[in-house]
Protein backbone atom coordinates (compact mmCIF):
# COMPACT_ATOMS: atom_id res chain seq x y z
CA UNK A 1 0.00 0.00 0.00
CA UNK A 2 3.00 2.29 0.53
CA UNK A 3 3.74 2.23 -3.20
CA UNK A 4 0.23 2.47 -4.65
CA UNK A 5 0.66 6.02 -6.04
CA UNK A 6 4.00 5.09 -7.60
CA UNK A 7 2.54 2.01 -9.24
CA UNK A 8 -0.41 3.98 -10.59
CA UNK A 9 2.05 6.07 -12.60
CA UNK A 10 3.70 2.91 -13.95
CA UNK A 11 0.32 1.52 -14.98
CA UNK A 12 -0.64 4.80 -16.67
CA UNK A 13 2.52 4.44 -18.79
CA UNK A 14 1.49 0.92 -19.75
CA UNK A 15 4.22 -0.83 -17.79
CA UNK A 16 3.68 -4.33 -16.46
CA UNK A 17 4.90 -4.87 -12.92
CA UNK A 18 6.28 -7.54 -10.66
CA UNK A 19 5.81 -7.02 -6.93
CA UNK A 20 8.03 -8.67 -4.34
CA UNK A 21 5.50 -9.97 -1.80
CA UNK A 22 4.90 -12.83 0.58
CA UNK A 23 8.50 -13.77 1.26
CA UNK A 24 9.23 -12.07 4.57
CA UNK A 25 5.69 -10.85 5.11
CA UNK A 26 2.33 -12.57 5.18
CA UNK A 27 -0.28 -13.24 2.51
CA UNK A 28 -1.79 -9.76 3.05
CA UNK A 29 1.15 -8.31 1.11
CA UNK A 30 0.29 -10.58 -1.81
CA UNK A 31 -3.35 -9.51 -1.65
CA UNK A 32 -2.23 -5.87 -1.83
CA UNK A 33 0.15 -6.61 -4.71
CA UNK A 34 -2.66 -8.25 -6.69
CA UNK A 35 -5.57 -5.94 -5.89
CA UNK A 36 -3.97 -2.60 -5.08
CA UNK A 37 -0.87 -2.66 -7.28
CA UNK A 38 -2.27 -4.76 -10.17
CA UNK A 39 0.82 -6.97 -10.24
CA UNK A 40 1.10 -9.32 -13.19
CA UNK A 41 3.84 -11.26 -11.40
CA UNK A 42 4.61 -11.85 -7.73
CA UNK A 43 8.21 -12.23 -6.58
CA UNK A 44 8.46 -15.20 -4.17
CA UNK A 45 4.88 -15.45 -2.87
CA UNK A 46 5.89 -17.99 -0.25
CA UNK A 47 2.93 -17.17 2.00
CA UNK A 48 0.35 -17.38 -0.78
CA UNK A 49 -0.36 -20.90 0.48
CA UNK A 50 -1.81 -19.37 3.65
CA UNK A 51 -4.75 -17.84 1.77
CA UNK A 52 -6.76 -20.44 -0.16
CA UNK A 53 -9.05 -17.89 -1.84
CA UNK A 54 -6.06 -15.83 -2.94
CA UNK A 55 -4.44 -18.95 -4.45
CA UNK A 56 -7.57 -19.41 -6.55
CA UNK A 57 -7.63 -15.73 -7.59
CA UNK A 58 -3.94 -15.74 -8.58
CA UNK A 59 -4.51 -18.88 -10.66
CA UNK A 60 -7.63 -17.45 -12.35
CA UNK A 61 -5.88 -14.16 -13.15
CA UNK A 62 -2.83 -16.07 -14.47
CA UNK A 63 -0.50 -14.03 -12.26
CA UNK A 64 2.99 -15.48 -12.41
CA UNK A 65 4.75 -16.40 -9.19
CA UNK A 66 8.53 -16.16 -9.47
CA UNK A 67 10.12 -18.64 -7.08
CA UNK A 68 13.83 -18.68 -6.26
CA UNK A 69 14.61 -22.05 -4.65
CA UNK A 70 18.21 -21.32 -3.77
CA UNK A 71 17.52 -17.99 -2.03
CA UNK A 72 14.39 -19.39 -0.38
CA UNK A 73 16.44 -22.28 0.98
CA UNK A 74 19.16 -19.93 2.24
CA UNK A 75 16.91 -17.27 3.72
CA UNK A 76 13.76 -19.13 4.74
CA UNK A 77 15.28 -22.49 5.62
CA UNK A 78 13.07 -24.83 3.62
CA UNK A 79 14.17 -28.38 4.31
CA UNK A 80 15.93 -30.59 1.79
CA UNK A 81 14.70 -34.00 0.66
CA UNK A 82 11.31 -33.62 2.34
CA UNK A 83 12.84 -33.11 5.80
CA UNK A 84 10.89 -30.09 6.88
CA UNK A 85 7.66 -29.18 8.57
CA UNK A 86 7.55 -26.30 6.09
CA UNK A 87 7.39 -27.80 2.58
CA UNK A 88 8.42 -25.67 -0.38
CA UNK A 89 5.16 -24.63 -2.11
CA UNK A 90 6.26 -24.53 -5.78
CA UNK A 91 4.52 -27.79 -6.78
CA UNK A 92 1.39 -26.98 -4.78
CA UNK A 93 1.11 -23.66 -6.63
CA UNK A 94 1.76 -25.32 -9.99
CA UNK A 95 -0.91 -27.95 -9.29
CA UNK A 96 -3.34 -25.17 -8.29
CA UNK A 97 -2.99 -23.72 -11.79
CA UNK A 98 -0.67 -20.84 -10.95
CA UNK A 99 1.94 -20.11 -13.63
CA UNK A 100 4.94 -20.61 -11.34
CA UNK A 101 8.41 -19.91 -12.69
CA UNK A 102 11.82 -20.86 -11.34
CA UNK A 103 14.14 -17.87 -11.18
CA UNK A 104 17.37 -16.51 -9.83
CA UNK A 105 17.36 -13.94 -7.05
CA UNK A 106 19.38 -10.85 -6.30
CA UNK A 107 23.05 -11.81 -6.82
CA UNK A 108 23.87 -9.98 -3.58
CA UNK A 109 21.58 -12.40 -1.74
CA UNK A 110 22.26 -15.54 -3.67
CA UNK A 111 24.85 -15.92 -6.41
CA UNK A 112 23.04 -19.01 -7.70
CA UNK A 113 22.44 -19.34 -11.43
CA UNK A 114 19.20 -20.55 -13.00
CA UNK A 115 20.85 -23.96 -13.36
CA UNK A 116 21.67 -23.96 -9.62
CA UNK A 117 18.04 -23.17 -8.83
CA UNK A 118 16.71 -25.87 -11.14
CA UNK A 119 19.11 -28.43 -9.67
CA UNK A 120 18.08 -27.56 -6.10
CA UNK A 121 14.35 -27.71 -6.85
CA UNK A 122 14.07 -31.54 -6.67
CA UNK A 123 15.67 -31.47 -3.23
CA UNK A 124 13.11 -28.93 -2.02
CA UNK A 125 10.24 -30.66 -3.85
CA UNK A 126 10.98 -34.39 -3.75
CA UNK A 127 9.19 -36.17 -6.54
CA UNK A 128 9.14 -33.23 -8.94
CA UNK A 129 9.08 -34.62 -12.46
CA UNK A 130 10.86 -33.57 -15.63
CA UNK A 131 7.46 -32.64 -17.05
CA UNK A 132 6.79 -30.31 -14.11
CA UNK A 133 10.19 -28.68 -14.50
CA UNK A 134 9.39 -28.10 -18.17
CA UNK A 135 6.03 -26.58 -17.14
CA UNK A 136 7.88 -24.15 -14.86
CA UNK A 137 10.05 -23.14 -17.81
CA UNK A 138 7.12 -22.79 -20.21
CA UNK A 139 5.33 -20.67 -17.60
CA UNK A 140 8.26 -18.26 -17.70
CA UNK A 141 7.52 -17.61 -21.36
CA UNK A 142 3.79 -17.37 -20.67
CA UNK A 143 4.21 -14.60 -18.06
CA UNK A 144 7.13 -12.81 -19.75
CA UNK A 145 6.57 -9.10 -20.30
CA UNK A 146 6.40 -9.38 -24.08
CA UNK A 147 3.98 -8.18 -26.72
CA UNK A 148 1.22 -10.73 -27.38
CA UNK A 149 2.66 -11.61 -30.80
CA UNK A 150 6.19 -12.16 -29.45
CA UNK A 151 4.84 -14.23 -26.55
CA UNK A 152 2.77 -16.37 -28.94
CA UNK A 153 5.81 -16.92 -31.17
CA UNK A 154 7.99 -17.87 -28.20
CA UNK A 155 5.38 -20.28 -26.84
CA UNK A 156 5.02 -21.95 -30.24
CA UNK A 157 8.80 -22.44 -30.44
CA UNK A 158 8.90 -23.85 -26.91
CA UNK A 159 6.01 -26.20 -27.62
CA UNK A 160 7.82 -27.54 -30.70
CA UNK A 161 10.91 -28.23 -28.59
CA UNK A 162 8.86 -29.89 -25.85
CA UNK A 163 7.30 -32.31 -28.36
CA UNK A 164 10.74 -33.59 -29.42
* Mean of pLDDT values over 112-124: 95
pLDDT tens track for 131-148: 899 999 999 999 999 999
62/163: higher pLDDT: 62
93/110: higher pLDDT: 93
Q: Is the pLDDT of residue 111 over 90?
A: no
pLDDT tens track for 44-93: 999 999 999 999 999 999 999 999 999 999 888 888 887 777 889 999 99
Active site residue 66: no
Q: What percent of the chain has pLDDT over 90?
A: 65
Chain CA centroid to CA 78, Å = 16
Domains of the chain listed by start with CATH number:
4-163 (3.20.20.140)
Query: Model's pTM, two decimal places?
Result: 0.90
Question: Which residue among 8, 23, 132, 152 is the active-site one?
Answer: 23
Amino acid sequence: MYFQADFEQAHRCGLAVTVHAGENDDSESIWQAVYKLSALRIGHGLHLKDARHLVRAVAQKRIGVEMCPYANYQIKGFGLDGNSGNPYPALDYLNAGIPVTINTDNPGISAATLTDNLLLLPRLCPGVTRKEILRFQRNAAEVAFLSPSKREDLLKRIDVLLRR
